Chain A
Amino acid sequence: NAGVTQTPKFQVLKTGQSMTLQCAQDMNHNSMYWYRQDPGMGLRLIYYSASEGTTDKGEVPNGYNVSRLNKREFSLRLESAAPSQTSVYFCASNLNLGGGYQPQHFGDGTRLSIL
């Protein structure tokens, strides 16, 4: 009963390094999302994938890229990490049959620090 699984849970990077955050869901959901959460800023959408083969920018996409590898997996890549990208990153998914009525389910998050 895993739900949404994110790896790694914690990561420390140096400025300029690159890394990929992994997300996988086992609920046969159509849509997947990446958010970042910063103190006082709430959850902000970085990118989302409405269905396999599609990706779209959210509110704060600069500095990130995504790949919807298949229906289960959605990865987030930081090509050249910056201290401003220090945050907690959450992946979410939902069934998304249209109309926006299906709630999103969240993974446990990745806590990323960039020095």
Chain B
Amino acid sequence: QKEVEQNSGPLSVPEGAIASLNCTYSDRVSQSFFWYRQYSGKSPELIMSIYSNGDKEDGRFTAQLNKASQYVSLLIRDSQPSDSATYLCAVNQAGTALIFGKGTTLSVSS
């Protein structure tokens, strides 16, 4: 069974802090990795994708990938209350379907 694991949280950080969200996956042949943000009652929204080992930065967001450790993370710098949401990690094993983790709920307090 191919699995994607995330800590369900909630992860609570104060406004302006760095939020660190983590994800591990079981299938070593996974090739592409995505982070989605989902506000309560809304649909998942893509915020980052990463395919190679290392860091990828986009504004306040940094995705980190370590294929040897089967680990992908998302850092959110200068966290804002508007970042409060559930963050979904998704992994693709070179096929067509994504496997999603159950999500980590982030709460940013002002």
Chain A residues packing against B (C-beta within 8 Å) = 31, 33, 35, 40-45, 48, 50, 56, 58, 90, 96, 99-101, 103-109
Contact = CB atoms under 8 A, between A and B. Distances in A.
17 contacts: A33-B97, A35-B100, A40-B102, A42-B88, A44-B100, A45-B99, A48-B96, A48-B97, A90-B44, A100-B32, A100-B92, A101-B31, A103-B34, A105-B46, A106-B45, A108-B42, A109-B43
A58 B90 CA distance: 15
Contact of B102 (A33, A42, A96, A104): A42
Q: Helix, strand, loop or mixed for chain B's interface?
A: loop
A100 B103 CA distance: 21
Contacts of A48: 96-97
Given A90-B44, A101-B31, A41 B93 contact: no
A100 B31 contact: yes
A45 B2 CA distance: 13
A43 B103 CA distance: 9
Nearest to A42: B102
Interface residues of B, number: 25
B102 A100 contact: no
A34 B90 CA distance: 15
Given A99-B32, A100-B92, A107-B43, A58 B101 contact: no
Contacts of A42: 88, 100-103
Contacts of A44: 100
A1 to B, nearest CB: 15
The 10 A-B residue pairs with the shortest CB-CB distance, nearest first, are A100-B92, A42-B102, A43-B100, A106-B43, A50-B96, A100-B32, A103-B46, A100-B94, A101-B32, A42-B100
A45 B51 contact: no
